[in-house]
């Protein structure tokens, strides 16, 4: 069962103007945490390219309140081989002041619904260990641990394990419709 979302934030599809706010939100995660294995924060232009690349096939959403972007969530292709086209890898990132406010839940609820509408069957999250807050968020949406990659990423002077979390977005069936 999904948690109750924050109804005071507006959730919408990201556009070109959201590249700079998304890059600002993401930069501290890159520099200061193990939440992402990127080592250098992407510039706004690179973030804009990422947004444009996934909007056509998957989804990139932002949460805003009074014109301020509070966070974003996206679903991207899980892997490049054609048989994976019904699967999406998902992530959510929040501005400092938005953590713990329900914005992340609002974003994830909207993102998972959008991916279902697009015909995605499975959502996968990769969570560097330890990250109790991320694991709790995913568990509230019904994600289950599907595996653990041991010592898979090296950042900030240490090795990290990564948990693979999986959520069935739609019941399994033969010959699913093509994603849209």
Convert the pLDDT of each residue in 13-68 to its tens digit.
999 999 999 999 999 999 999 999 999 999 999 999 999 999 888 999 999 999 99
Instruction: Please tell me the predicted confidence (pLDDT) of residue 117.
Output: 94
Task: Name the pTM for this structure.
Answer: 0.92
Pick the CATH number of 10-168 from 3.40.50.2300, 3.40.630.30, 3.30.750.24, 3.40.50.800: 3.40.630.30
Contact criterion met (CB below 8 Å) for 84 and 78: yes
1 pLDDT tier (thresholds 50, 70, 90): very low
Cα torsion 104, 78, 169, 15 to 10°: value is 50
| Strand arrangement, sheet containing 122-128 | 10-13, 59-65, 68-77, 87-94, 122-128, 158-168, 144-155
User: Which residue did the predictor score with more confidence, 155 or 101?
Assistant: 155
């Amino acid at each position: 069962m999904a948690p109750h979302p924050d109804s005071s934030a507006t959730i919408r599809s990201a556009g070109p103007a959201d590249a700079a706010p998304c890059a600002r939100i993401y930069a501290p995660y890159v520099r200061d945490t193990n939440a992402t294995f990127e080592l250098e924060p992407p510039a706004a232009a690179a973030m804009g390219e990422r947004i444009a690349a996934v909007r056509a096939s998957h989804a990139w959403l932002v949460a805003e309140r009074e014109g301020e972007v509070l966070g974003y969530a996206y679903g991207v292709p899980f892997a490049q081989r054609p048989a994976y086209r019904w699967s999406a890898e998902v992530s959510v990132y929040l501005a400092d002041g938005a953590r713990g406010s329900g914005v992340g839940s609002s974003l994830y609820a909207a993102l998972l619904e959008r991916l279902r509408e697009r015909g995605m069957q499975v959502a996968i999250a990769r969570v560097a260990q330890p990250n109790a807050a991320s694991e709790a968020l995913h568990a509230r949406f019904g994600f289950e641990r599907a595996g653990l990659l041991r010592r898979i990423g090296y950042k900030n002077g240490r090795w990290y394990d990564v948990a693979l979390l999986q959520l069935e977005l739609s019941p399994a069936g033969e010959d699913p419709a093509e994603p849209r």
